[in-house]
A = this chain, B = another copy of it.
Amino acid sequence: MNQVIDTILSHRSIRKFTEQPISDQQLEAILNAARAASSSSFIQCVSVIRVTDTEKRRLLAEYAGGQAYVETCAEFLVWCSDFSRHVQIKPDAKVGFAEQTLIGAVDTALMAQNAMLAAESMGLGGVYIGGLRNNPDKVCELLKLPEHVYAVFGMCLGHPDQDPEIKPRLPKSIMVHDNDYKRIDEETLAEYDEQVREYYQTRTGGNKSTSWTEQISATLDKEARPFMKDFLRRKGYLKF
């Protein structure tokens, strides 16, 4: 259709990279793309930590649950929600509301997605690393993130050394609703489940055969990082 839509539709997470570095010009373009995103009320509550220190990379890979590509990828960026800047400028700034937790997460994601697409448009690839939230306090300590700043997620970027298939997404008829929310259609879900099962079978040479229903059921059978609420409060979020 056009290069933008083609780039967007070609997205798949890349977890294996060549040793080729990302050039300064490429990194500059990626970070400028990030900065161009919309920001809620122009509040610009996002910081990016570019981690080049090898020991910090090693530790972040460990904190993320042993994801080796965090250590070895060409660039690792940590995307942070940041209201510390505002408190530096206005010490009595009213921060710490649940609303600001949302704004911080949304604005960080808008910026990061611009960065991901800019990278992909130049033939690079990457993956979001939500695993940093496995050890949110340790990440804060390592990167010296003050109160009101925390890592929403990381991002590995580099030259792809793999070419995975595109993962089938929930059908549009399930994700998009007309005027009113509607419940999931069982038949469409069953078809989609079969599609996901085939995707995993192909990708793993038959070793994995999981439907979407099975996968999300396993994921939501466990508590989701139950420590996050206290963590966010300690960092000056979710207080009010």
Contact = CB atoms under 8 A, between A and B. Distances in A.
Interface of A: 1-5, 7-9, 11, 13, 29, 31-44, 46-53, 56, 80, 84-86, 88-90, 93-95, 97-103, 105-110, 112-114, 116-118, 120-122, 127-128, 130, 133, 143-146, 149, 152-153, 166-167, 169-170, 172, 174-181, 183-184, 189, 212-213, 215-217, 219-226, 228-229, 232, 238, 240
A106 B232 CA distance: 15
B121 A5 contact: yes
Chain copies in complex: 2
22 contacts: A2-B121, A3-B3, A3-B4, A4-B121, A5-B33, A9-B36, A11-B37, A31-B176, A42-B167, A43-B220, A52-B179, A88-B183, A89-B189, A94-B222, A94-B223, A94-B224, A95-B224, A110-B113, A113-B113, A114-B117, A144-B180, A229-B238
Nearest to A116: B38
A145 to B, nearest CB: 5
